[in-house]
């Protein structure tokens, strides 16, 4: 079991506990991190069926009462009305004890539960218990939450740090292959932006990872958690350019997700493809110094079942989706490019003809 600290100064710092069966030590961590005795567990029906009992046993051991608040599965769960229902539930239960929120699930659950916890009474304690690879290596850490509006994804949200993140790698055993592959895209991203030894491990340890060997999963989740923690510590509110590095592959990836109507490609699949576009653009602009990087990325995408082409999606649609990225400032695009593994370069106002060329090559 590994414990990684997110240092945010004093009381706001929190631990990320990673490993097999960490859920069994929940009572110990609860005692240290959370002053509460009544848990609202937010989960969808599937995750509740798979892992709800394991969590509730842990809570009983800790002498905590709890209730489940069930949300719909898939991105549908991340809506304003669902956040409101959680908040109303909290309001009904709050008189019965010192309430806190546990998000048990993937990024959807973490985002909507985190948002509800942050607004009810201006904030009640939050624990993230991520159950997908993507949530364990990324979304559960860093305090960003939110819901989708009719006008777009993630348009309402707050920054609100959890008191504890508990990543039990046993949870990954029930994920389907596509879900694991999707999470692997973010893992590959961490390798490229900041950790050559992780990148090497993804290459040589493929067999172990694909088999979900407990040791391998613990290694990648803990490595990625500490990388994300370091970015969050340096740029908690995503105001500078530091945390932007985590967006490597995302500007192109979001364009693909949007152009495909958020159906055909999962987030991770789109990010994998987006990294390929970002590397090709880095090469085209003469920024990429490491000539091996492109081949390494292509091999890794293949090895982890991620697409290299945006099949069936027209380059024109990709380009217009690219132009609508909400992270662009004053209409000026900002793309995270790579000089070599471990060194990113944020570039503004890249000429659209270059973007077009890259999109064409990859569609
Ligand atoms: N807040 C952040 O910083 C941040 C970062 C990245 C992504 N996100 C958000 O995360 C969301 C995507 O997260 P996700 O990929 O985890 O998707 P998800 O939450 O929809 O989970 C994917 C699927 O896996 C199922 N599932 C979850 N745990 C399981 C388990 N252990 N076994 C079997 N099935 C399981 C879920 O029911 C769901 O159908 C998006 O809404 C995205 O915007 C947020
Ligand atoms: Zn992502």
**How far does residue 71's CA lie from ligand 1's centre (Å)?**
13
- Ligand 1 pocket (Cβ < 6 Å) reads 44, 46-47, 50, 73-75, 78, 105-109, 111, 131-132, 134-135, 138-139, 142, 144-145, 154, 171, 174-175, 179, 182, 267
**Which ligand sits nearest to residue 168's alpha carbon?**
1
Give the per-residue pLDDT at 230.
Answer: 97
With cut-offs at 50, 70 and 90, classify the pLDDT of residue 274: very high
Read off the pLDDT of each residue in 233-237 and give the average, rounded to a whole number: 94
Read off the pLDDT of each residue in 160-181 and give the average, rounded to a whole number: 98
Read off the pLDDT of each residue in 37-62 and give the average, rounded to a whole number: 96
**Which ligand sits nearest to residue 252's alpha carbon?**
2
The three-state secondary structure class of 79 is: strand
Give the per-residue pLDDT at 46.
Answer: 98
**Angle CA 134–136–72, to nearest 5:** 65
The pTM of this model reads: 0.96
Spatial contact of 289 and 254, defined as CB atoms under 8 Å apart: no
Separation of alpha carbons 118 and 149, rounded Å: 18
> Is the pLDDT reported for residue 209 higher than 80?
yes
According to CATH, what is the number of the domain 243-362?
Answer: 1.20.1090.10
pLDDT digits (tens, 9 = 90+) for 87-142: 999 999 999 999 999 999 999 999 999 999 999 999 999 999 999 999 999 999 99
Give the per-residue pLDDT at 41.
Answer: 98
Read off the pLDDT of each residue in 64-72 and give the average, rounded to a whole number: 97
Give the per-residue pLDDT at 330.
Answer: 74
Question: Residues spanned by CATH 3.40.50.1970 within the chain?
Answer: 2-175
Q: Whose CA is nearest to atom 41 of ligand 1?
A: 108
**How far does residue 39's CA lie from ligand 2's centre (Å)?**
29
Atom of ligand 1 nearest to the CA of 172: 31
Give the per-residue pLDDT at 153.
Answer: 87
Question: Residues spanned by CATH 1.20.1090.10 within the chain?
Answer: 243-362
Other CB atoms within 10 Å distance of the CB of residue 144: 22
Q: In which order are the strands placed within the sheet that holds 38-44? A: 2-6, 14-19, 164-168, 126-130, 99-105, 38-44, 65-71
According to CATH, what is the number of the domain 2-175?
Answer: 3.40.50.1970
DSSP per position, 137-174: IIITSSSB--EEETTEEEEE--B---SEEEEEGGGGGG
With cut-offs at 50, 70 and 90, classify the pLDDT of residue 206: very high
Nearest to 42 by CA among 92, 85, 95, 12: 85
**Which ligand sits nearest to residue 175's alpha carbon?**
1
**How far does residue 271's CA lie from ligand 1's centre (Å)?**
15
pLDDT digits (tens, 9 = 90+) for 113-127: 999 999 999 999 999
The three-state secondary structure class of 313 is: coil
Nearest to 30 by CA among 165, 136, 217, 138: 165
């Amino acid at each position: 079991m590994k414990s990684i600290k997110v240092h945010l100064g004093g009381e706001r710092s929190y631990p990320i506990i990673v490993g097999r069966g960490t859920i069994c030590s929940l009572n110990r961590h609860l005692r240290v991190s959370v002053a509460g005795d009544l848990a609202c567990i937010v989960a969808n029906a599937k995750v509740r069926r798979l892992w709800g009992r394991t969590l509730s046993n842990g809570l009983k051991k800790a002498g905590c009462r709890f209730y489940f608040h069930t949300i719909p599965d898939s991105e549908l769960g991340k809506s304003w009305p669902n956040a409101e229902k959680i908040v109303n539930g909290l309001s009904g239960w709050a008189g019965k004890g010192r309430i806190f929120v546990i998000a048990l699930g993937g990024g959807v659950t973490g985002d909507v539960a985190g948002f509800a916890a942050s607004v009810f009474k201006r904030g009640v304690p939050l624990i993230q218990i991520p159950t997908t690879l993507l949530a364990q290596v990324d979304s559960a850490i860093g305090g960003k939450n939110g819901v989708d509006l009719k006008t777009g994804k993630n348009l309402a949200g707050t920054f609100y740090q959890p008191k504890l993140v508990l990543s039990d790698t046993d949870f990954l055993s029930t994920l389907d292959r596509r879900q694991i592959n999707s999470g692997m895209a973010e893992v590959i991203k961490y390798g490229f932006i900041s950790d050559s030894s992780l990148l090497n491990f993804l290459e040589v340890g493929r067999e172990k990872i694909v088999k979900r060997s407990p040791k391998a999963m613990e290694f990648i989740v803990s490595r990625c958690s500490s990388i994300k923690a370091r970015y969050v510590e340096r740029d908690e509110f995503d105001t500078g350019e530091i945390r932007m590095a985590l967006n490597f592959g995302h500007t192109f990836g979001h364009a693909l997700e949007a152009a495909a109507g958020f159906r055909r490609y999962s987030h991770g699949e789109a990010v994998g493809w987006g990294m390929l576009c970002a590397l090709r653009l880095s090469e085209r602009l003469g920024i990429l110094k490491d000539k091996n990087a492109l081949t390494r990325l292509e091999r890794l995408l293949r090895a982890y079942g991620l697409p290299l082409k945006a099949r069936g999606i027209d380059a024109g649609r990709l380009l217009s989706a690219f132009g609508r990225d909400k992270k662009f400032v004053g209409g000026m695009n900002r793309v995270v490019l790579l000089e070599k593994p471990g060194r990113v370069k944020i570039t503004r106002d890249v000429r659209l003809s270059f973007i077009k060329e890259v999109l064409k090559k990859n569609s």
